[in-house]
Amino acid sequence: QVQLVESGGGLVQRGGSLRLSCAASGRTFSNYNMGWFRQAPGKEREFVAVISWNGRDTYYADSVKGRFTISRDNAENTVYLQMNSLEPEDTAAYYCNSGTWMTGLPGRYWGQGTQVTVSS
């Protein structure tokens, strides 16, 4: 059973930073790409970032490029999302995804989500 547990969300002011973490278990973490998605109230879930299984390749949504950084620690079975220069438009529930395609399409497994709220 694959489990993904996100943490690190919270309330931050415009221009601030947060670091999200996603701890994975249930299958060999280092075999799979990992991604982050987000969903704002009343909107569809959207792709944010993906990192390849070995950490060498990343791909970002245009809306976060240059502000967010995805990384992973295969020894710790954890993927991270460093979010800088946060804007109110970044307010959403953020979800970790396992098996994400490098094109941004989601894989099969999801975490429960962590809320990020950016105040103006």
Task: Please name which of 110, 98, 102, 96 lies closest in space to residue 36, comparing C-alpha atoms.
Answer: 96
What tokens does 66 get?
């240059």
pLDDT at residue 33 in the model: 97
> What is the distance between the terminal CA atoms of the chain, rounded to a whole angstrom?
40
Give the number of other Cβ atoms within 10 Å of residue 74's Cβ: 15
What tokens does 101 get?
């395609």
CB contact burial 13-45 (16+ within 10 A = b; e otherwise): eeeeebebbbbbeeeebeebbbbbbbeeeeeeb
Low-confidence residues of the chain: pLDDT under 50: none
pLDDT at residue 14 in the model: 98
pLDDT at residue 1 in the model: 86
